[in-house]
């Protein structure tokens, strides 16, 4: 067994790390405070090739492998979870679904623009007010009108909503068939009847846009059906399997960032005449967090490798997301506690990391849903 990254992966990670430290980290606190969507940063990521990690060059990608993409999510998350969130949905979820299930015409039209060849951003629209964890309870409908489908419904909690150009929207084409009656459609932001509703104010990842989509008699051309009729649920779940690796990598990065802040603070903070890092209780907490982070890294990288090599990875992706995202909150909580009262004020990064960490165990499948996925894979 070889746990070593390749030379190319290490070099690319170093390039990403330098980019993050120069272009992302200095802006993280400010865009969190102002809730400013990182459009300029995403464009710089495009120019540097990061926006197209893990995709073939013929579709606007950088030609790197999937593990390199996961390394990118991890590195970006250490500095700014909001930017990582935008990036993961656009590159790791939307572009991935389009490349896997799109026709050649669809892939050439949409994928390069979402990656290194354009400034467009993608969004994935599955969740509805009454269809959260129960994704099969879709109420949005798509009616066949001959030359087009007529879409009506409301989507909620959609990442990138306000700034996205290309949306993958799930809608019912035949309610009598249950999940097999759900289909997927490519919807463009300027289609008549499509509008952005309420933009949510969030506890964390505040610089990412999370909002409502309202579809009122939106005419979607027949050629914008993604995959076959009735394959929407399968497309969504396949996309989310990969998306869970992205969020696991985000959780890993946040946990690493929290531990880094704890180490830096405890080595500088003196109480009773010595740095608090000299206290055995602090040392034990740091040792435990560091050990668990290495365990999370193993789960995340293994899931990424399985996906990259074409092996089944649904269970491993769920395990990685469950463990890494729960760990992100655990380490952030412990790191904040080590800061004492200073950890609770915005002057210190741990306050933002703590707020950002919580969402990772909720979006793209809650921890409870991950447990269901894992158990069903084991018991089948």
User: pLDDT tens across 154-194, in order?
Assistant: 999 999 999 999 999 999 999 999 999 999 999 999 999 99
Residue 267 CB: number of other CB atoms within 10 A?
A: 13
| Greatest CA separation for the chain | 79
DSSP H helices, the chain, are 7-19, 28-34, 39-48, 66-79, 81-87, 95-101, 104-114, 232-268, 280-309, 314-339, 349-359, 367-379
Domains of the chain: 7-120 (1.10.540.10), 123-232 (2.40.110.10), 234-379 (1.20.140.10)
Tens of pLDDT, residues 243-281:
999 999 999 999 999 999 999 999 999 999 999 999 999
Cα dihedral 293/295/299/305 (nearest 10): 90
Q: Tokens 């030359």: give the residue.
A: 147
Q: Active site residue: 23, 75, 128, 364, which one?
A: 364
At 332, list the tokens.
Answer: 């952030």
Q: What is the DSSP letter of 37?
A: -
Q: Tokens 């990391």: give the residue.
A: 353
pTM assigned to the model? 0.96
Is 8 among the catalytic positions?
no
At 307, list the tokens.
Answer: 């996906």
Given CA atoms 314, 239, 155, 31 in this order, what sign does their dihedral have? positive
Q: Is 6 helix (H, G, I), strand (E, B) or coil?
A: coil
Q: Given pLDDT bands bounded at 50, 70 and 90, which one contains residue 203?
A: very high
pLDDT > 90? residue 31:
yes
């Amino acid at each position: 067994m070889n746990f070593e990254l390749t030379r190319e992966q290490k070099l690319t990670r170093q390039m990403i790390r330098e980019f993050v430290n120069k272009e992302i980290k200095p802006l993280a606190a400010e865009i969190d405070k102002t809730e400013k969507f990182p459009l300029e940063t995403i464009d710089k990521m495009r120019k540097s090739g990061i926006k197209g990690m893990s995709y073939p060059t013929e579709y606007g990608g950088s030609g790197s492998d999937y593990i390199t993409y996961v390394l990118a999510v991890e590195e970006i998350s250490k500095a700014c979870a909001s930017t990582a969130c935008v990036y993961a949905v656009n590159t790791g979820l939307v572009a991935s679904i389009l490349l896997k299930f799109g026709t050649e015409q669809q892939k050439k039209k949409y994928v390069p623009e979402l990656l290194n060849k354009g400034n467009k951003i993608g969004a994935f629209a599955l969740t509805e007010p009454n269809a959260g964890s129960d994704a099969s309870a879709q109420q949005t409908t798509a009616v066949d009108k001959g030359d087009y489908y007529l879409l009506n419904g409301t989507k909620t909690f959609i990442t990138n909503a306000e700034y996205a150009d290309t949306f993958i929207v799930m809608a019912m084409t035949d309610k009598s068939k249950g999940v097999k009656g759900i289909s997927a459609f490519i919807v463009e932001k300027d289609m008549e009847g499509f509008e952005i509703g309420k933009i949510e104010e969030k506890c964390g990842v505040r610089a990412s846009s999370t909002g409502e989509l309202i579809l009122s008699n939106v005419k979607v051309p027949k050629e914008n059906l993604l995959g076959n009729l009735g394959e929407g649920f399968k497309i969504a779940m396949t996309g989310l399997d990969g998306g869970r690796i992205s969020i696991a990598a985000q959780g890993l990065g946040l946990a690493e960032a929290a531990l880094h802040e704890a180490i830096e603070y405890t080595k500088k903070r003196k109480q009773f005449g010595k740095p608090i890092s000299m206290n055995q209780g602090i040392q034990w907490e740091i040792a435990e967090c560091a050990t668990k982070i290495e365990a999370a890294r193993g789960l995340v990288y293994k899931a990424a490798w399985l996906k990259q090599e074409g092996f089944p990875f649904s269970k491993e992706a769920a395990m990685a997301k469950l463990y890494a995202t729960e760990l992100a909150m655990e380490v952030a909580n412990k790191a904040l506690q080590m800061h004492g009262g200073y950890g609770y004020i915005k002057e210190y990064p741990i306050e933002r990391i703590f707020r950002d960490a919580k969402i990772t165990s909720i979006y793209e499948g809650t921890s409870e849903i991950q447990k269901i996925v894992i158990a069903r894979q084991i018991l089948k």
